[in-house]
């Protein structure tokens, strides 16, 4: 297939030369295309692998170059481009989430006589400090005790916690966290459903010092570490036992080493969120006389308070810049809940497909299995990605979409994102604004490239079956350098 496309490209060049004398611009295009073909077909990085490349004019949408552009490939996190566009189109840039406290009892003097329900509506940015603020608000309302239980209501979404193709080996990683309508993040990057484990050196030949944030007894730390001399390397592994919140830290840490931090996804983020609320209430001096459990709030319950999230256009920054898988999957379920009253992957992906059709996309060419791109079964064509990026430019939400993409070579994380340490020199630095993607044996990058003359190109580079995905990223940058120095 690749050879056929290459031959067709060369044939088109031959037709130009035989029918008419090529212009200077056409001649430059021929040289650029020839260089790209040589690079893609001859670079040893692609030995045994397959690449799809699409280059399109940002001004008129014309496909200027296609190498396997119509071959379906695994896009990795480039799939998030479709999730983000569909979310903006179907939910709107100003869409936000509510997390609420209700009671089925009555408030008398300083006491809530009944149960308190914390109700999640899919906020992917709810932080520990937000829950602490909710507890503080209750205190300011004069509440000093709760006679009943505190109950977590996560029924806004279904109870399926993992997307269909998530590898079992990823379930403890921050990027493989369980999906719940009620989940909490320990940090400003909104890594929902995780705790932060910190390992610091102890005294020589003694155990390392372990800590967890938030400070919670929801997880149990098992310390199997040893502090070693400064001339020995730190070799640590941090893992969680399947189905439990028992986190094992083992290995060695050098005596003078800096603390090591690791984000670990918890088992059951709903109960985790509830434990954070219980701790926050205690810190505010509010006594809970009942127990912690899950359940749906009664229809006639009374709202005590509400926390509103930042709008979607702001959520897109950590989502796309940092390639946050949990945000992607929660957005899929939210689209299903809002438009089909069904907070499931099946309903959400159906809404996404219908939204993409409304944007002029041919979804029959796509296989969409999740929102994040973590599935190796997802399949997209490079030409379809550049088509989406072209058509998105005419939408009112495009500024939010474009601003969410990582910018090459910019060190600030909320700008450079996953490209902050890549393409740090001109002509690519700041001129590549794109979404990256990485899976085992897969590397991808798609976005916008500003040329030296100020014109913009849209590009997509998908590589599958790589022996080394990091090497694939080097080839991506070689390809983009060739394009950047052209005047296509």
| 8 Å CB contact between 123 and 308 | no
Check: CB of residue 189 under 8 Å from CB of residue 324.
Answer: yes
313 included as an active-site residue: no
323 is catalytic: yes
Query: In terms of Cα–Cα distance, which of 200, 192, 99, 208 is closest to 154?
Result: 99
Of the candidates 66, 80, 313, 372, the residue annotated as catalytic is 80
- 80 tagged catalytic: yes
How far is residue 430's CA from residue 422's CA, in Å, rounded to a whole number? Answer: 10
CA–CA separation, 306 and 137 (whole Å): 10
Per annotation, catalytic residue among 180, 323, 392, 444: 323
Q: Is 349 strand, coil or helix?
A: helix
C-alpha distances in angstroms, 426 versus 407, 411, 422, 450, 485? 13, 15, 11, 11, 10
| Active-site residue, from 54, 72, 77, 444 | 77
d(CA 288, CA 277) in angstroms, rounded, equals 11
User: What's phi and psi for 231, nearest 5 deg?
Assistant: -90, 5
Distances (CA, A) of 112 to 284, 298, 316: 15, 16, 38
Q: Rounded to 5 degrees, what angle do the CA atoms 250, 252, 256 make?
A: 135
CA distances from 237 to 57, 173, 224, 262, 267 (A): 47, 12, 10, 9, 18
What count of other Cβ atoms lies within 10 Å of the Cβ of residue 347? 20
Which two structure tokens, joined as six digits, stand for 441?
């044996």
Backbone φ and ψ of 445, nearest 5°: -155, 135
Distance CA 451, CA 456 (A): 6
Residue 260, CA distances (Å) to 198, 208, 226, 253, 335 in order = 6, 11, 14, 9, 37
Rounded Cα distance between 43 and 444, Å, is: 16
- How far is Cα 134 from Cα 440, in angstroms, rounded to an integer? 41
| Residues with catalytic roles | 77, 80, 323
């Amino acid at each position: 297939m690749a050879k056929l496309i290459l031959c067709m490209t060369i044939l088109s060049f031959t037709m130009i030369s035989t029918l008419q004398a090529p212009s200077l611009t056409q001649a430059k295009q021929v040289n650029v295309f020839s260089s790209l073909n040589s690079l893609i077909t001859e670079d040893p990085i692609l030995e045994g692998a397959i690449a799809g490349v699409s280059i399109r004019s940002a001004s008129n949408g014309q496909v200027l170059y296609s190498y396997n552009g119509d071959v379906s490939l695994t896009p990795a996190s480039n799939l998030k481009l479709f999730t983000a566009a569909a979310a903006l189109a179907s939910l709107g840039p100003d869409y936000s989430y509510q997390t609420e406290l209700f009671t089925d009892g009555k408030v008398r003097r300083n006491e809530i006589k009944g149960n308190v329900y914390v109700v999640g509506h899919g906020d992917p940015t709810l932080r520990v400090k937000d829950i602490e603020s909710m507890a503080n608000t209750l205190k300011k309302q004069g509440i000093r005790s709760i006679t009943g239980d505190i109950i977590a209501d996560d029924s806004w979404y279904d109870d399926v916690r993992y997307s269909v193709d998530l590898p079992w080996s990823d379930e403890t990683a921050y990027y493989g966290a369980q999906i719940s309508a009620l989940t909490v993040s320990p940090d400003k990057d909104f890594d929902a459903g995780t705790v932060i484990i910190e390992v610091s050196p102890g005294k020589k030949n003694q155990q390392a010092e372990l800590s967890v944030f938030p400070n919670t007894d929801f997880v149990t730390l098992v310390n199997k570490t040893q502090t070693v001399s400064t001339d020995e390397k730190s070799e640590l592994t941090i893992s969680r036992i399947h189905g439990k919140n028992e986190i094992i830290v083992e290995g060695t840490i050098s005596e003078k080493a800096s603390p090591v931090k690791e984000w670990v996804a918890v088992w059951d983020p709903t109960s985790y969120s509830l434990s954070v609320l219980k701790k926050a209430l205690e810190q505010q001096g509010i006594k809970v006389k009942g127990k912690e459990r899950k359940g749906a709030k009664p229809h006639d319950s009374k709202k005590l308070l509400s926390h509103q999230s930042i709008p979607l256009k702001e959520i897109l920054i950590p989502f796309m810049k940092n390639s946050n898988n949990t945000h992607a999957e929660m957005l899929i379920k939210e689209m299903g809940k809002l438009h089909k009253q069904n907070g499931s992957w099946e309903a959400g992906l159906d809404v996404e497909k219908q939204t993409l059709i409304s944007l002029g996309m041919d979804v029959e060419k796509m296989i969409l299995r999740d929102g994040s791109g973590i599935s190796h079964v997802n399949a997209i064509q490079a030409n379809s990605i550049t088509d989406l990026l072209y058509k998105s430019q005419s939408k009112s939400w495009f500024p939010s979409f474009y601003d969410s993409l990582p910018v090459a070579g910019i060190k600030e994380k909320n700008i450079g994102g996953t490209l902050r340490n890549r393409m740090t020199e001109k002509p690519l630095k700041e001129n590549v604004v794109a979404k990256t993607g990485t899976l085992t044996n897969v590397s991808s990058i798609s976005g916008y490239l500003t040329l030296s003359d100020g014109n913009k190109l849209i590009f997509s580079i998908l590589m599958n079956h790589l022996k080394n995905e990091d090497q694939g990223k080097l080839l991506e940058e070689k390809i983009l350098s060739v394009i950047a120095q052209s005047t296509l």
